[in-house]
Amino acid sequence: MSAQAVREYLALIWSQYQGSSRAEKSKLIDEVVRNTGMHRKSVIRLLCQTTVPKFKRGKGESRNRYSDESKVFLKALWKDMGYLGGVRMKAAIPLWIDSWENEDLGDYARHELKSMSASTIERTLKKAKADLRRRSNTGTRRSKTRPQALIPIRDFAIVPAEPGHCEIDCVAHCGGSLSGEHIWTLTVTDIVSGWTEEEALQAKTGILVHQALLRIEERLPFKIIALYMDNGSEFLNDEVAIKYAHKKKLVTRVELIQLFRSRPYKKNDQCMVEQKNFTHVRELFGYDRFEGRLMAQQMNNVYRKEWRQLSNFFHPQIRLKEKYRVGSKVKRRFHAPRTPLDLLGDYLPEQQMVSLRLEAASLNPFFLQKKLKRKLRDISAYNSRDPETMGRIAQ
């Protein structure tokens, strides 16, 4: 029953209600409740008024002054006009509408588009703008391939108890614009120890991610047991989800790598690697745009040598021990700071740890830091097209 029909029905019942006895009034109220589904007390308040009851618009309701057809035309016009804001679009519609080539646009819809206010335009385009902003602000394109249906969503009730459970993600070095080809960094972080490896990619494709994962796996001091990823197409494809996860690890047997994906649009599901995306990638290379094969080689020269040794051997990490609420405040307690190398000592065999500790003992962190800064300066100068630096690196 429409709102107008309810108004007319209540007006009819109200006229009968005024001169009725107590028993008759009760029957009329029962009839209104049964036919409209309204609460009994609401019906009594409406029928006891001295005048014909009128409805007030509830919270969140709005009068549809403009037709649904005009709103569809508005979204199409907004796209063709270059995604203008509401105030600018209101002023621009009279200048553009007569030249708009749309065979379905009628005179009435044209009149409604011209008469819409700026606030109505903003309100109508709110969802379309949010969708456009989401697509523009992220480099992750959701996969629509078969592996997405095969890979289960991560179960957070299961807490990894040994190294080898790694979160992976990609970081765009796009300089604020995702157009064109630019470099991406693949980050792999072990959940238990915090051991992190990076690899620079010329582009974000399944083949390049597969090859980068193989190179990273060779550098890891432990075997990969499970990978946790987002729903991006660079991971949920045949190259990564099938060929890499089911590859032969040994000649005599096949070890399968378990794959899990996060919930769509839940960025905090990948909180460990998202943190490393900032501390291990953004703080290292910033937000500039990097592109080209030679630049990717220079970045990998940093990732595979000085930065890998500094971040995993000499940079302690503070890890959360517990979190609890006291009244309105959330209290957190942390473990004592330890390096990923020290954390691995709780899980790896002593023989394997001896070789890692000998490698760390042979390194001078101050020398690594100086060498790292020099390489970063060369990369920055090369990226700014400094002729002298470009020639030295190219040689």
Residues 270-325 pLDDT 10s: 999 999 999 999 999 999 999 999 999 999 999 999 999 999 999 998 888 899 99
| Burial bucket for residue 303 (CB in 10 Å: 0-12, 13-18, 19+) | buried
What residue spans define the domains of the chain? 3-47, 68-136, 146-394
* Residue 386 pLDDT class (50, 70, 90 cuts): low
The pLDDT value given to residue 143: 55
Q: Which residue has the higher pLDDT, 252 or 146?
A: 146
Task: Flag whether pLDDT at 249 surpasses 50.
Answer: no
Long-range contacts of 115-122 (CB under 8 A, 24+ apart): 116/66, 116/70, 116/74, 116/90, 117/90, 118/86, 118/87, 118/89, 118/90, 119/86, 120/65, 120/66, 121/74, 121/78, 121/86, 121/89, 121/90, 122/85, 122/86
Nearest 10 degrees: CA dihedral of 76, 80, 83, 85? -80
CB within 8 Å of 53: residues ≥ 6 apart = 7, 10, 11, 14, 46, 47
CA-to-CA distance for 189 and 312, rounded, in angstroms? 11
The pLDDT value given to residue 277: 93
* Residue 110 pLDDT class (50, 70, 90 cuts): confident
Nearest 10 degrees: CA dihedral of 41, 44, 49, 53? 90
Mean pLDDT of 194-209: 93
Tokens representing residue 51 in the block: 């005048």
% of the chain with per-residue pLDDT over 70:
88
* Residue 150 pLDDT class (50, 70, 90 cuts): confident
- Name the CATH superfamily for 146-394: Ribonuclease H-like superfamily/Ribonuclease H (3.30.420.10)
The pLDDT value given to residue 145: 59
Mean pLDDT of 174-202: 92
